Structure 1
Amino acid sequence: MEVGPLLDQMARGYSKALGITNLLLTKTMRAYREAELRAATAMGAERRISSLTLEVVELRKSDKEIRDLLFSKSQEALRAHAKCNDFRLAMEDLKGEVNRQEGVIADLKDDLAHRDDDLAQRDVELARTREEAAELKAEAAEWRAKAAELEVEMARKQEQH
């Protein structure tokens, strides 16, 4: 058997195997590069997911703070509204009291007007009474004068007797 054709055949087989190996190696290298690229992309995506997760957590914290603040402010608004209603009721009570006091004042003014009328009538009566008293004093003075005359006359008559 000849060694030459066998070596040729082996060389072709080796060359073919080397070509297949190179092809497999090239495909493997491409696969590794693709895998590295995808791994880097996956790591980037994981970092982005992690970053987004942190952002979501922060947003949830912020959302909770905003909700708590909103709840607190709504409670304050309810308390202020209740105070406003209390003040409104107090104002209504005060208006009622003012109206009642105005009624009392009006009644007192009426009483005062009646008393002024009564006082005016009494002033008229007092003036009449003073006139009558003056007349009675004048009459009394006349009677005293007459009594004095009668005493003088009686004293004369007694002297004559």
Structure 2
Amino acid sequence: MSWRLRVTHTTQYRYASPVTQSYNEVRLTPRSDRRQNVVVSRVETHPATRAYRYSDYWGTTVTSFDLHAPHTELTVVGSSVVETGGEVSPVGGATWTDLRGEDVLDRYTEYLGWTSTSPATASSPPGPGNSAVVSVPWTPSMPPPLGSIPR
């Protein structure tokens, strides 16, 4: 089943005395991916500002704006329309060569280093699909249930 949803978020700032310089970044734009498509998205401010958008390190859309006129209130409204899709099967069929590709290494480099739970001496499983099964013995034991932690 798919849905079309309208999402609106409002943030308001009120200042005790006039502010003459305000520099802002907001992350109010939903992501488009295999399960969700952003039909339209906008960020509006009152007082009006000139804004520009860019993608940050993690691929999130950032709307940046600044205001240099004296103001005692600032309202930021993010509104979007998204369409969701049905269940999507996981991507399958990746090989170790695919996962060692330049685009993957660049995008996920902070997650790919060796750690105490993924030692460099570990033997490689036959394929990426079996990695989770093989890595289970490396993971530390589960923490105690929340109610059993002494206070």
Task: Tell me the TM-score range normalised by the shorter chain.
Answer: under 0.3
Larger strand share, 1 or 2: 2
Greater relative CO (CA pairs within 8 A, separation 6+): 2
Q: Give the TM-score, by structure 2 length.
A: 0.14
Instruction: Look at both structures and tell me which one has the larger radius of gyration over its CA atoms.
Output: 1
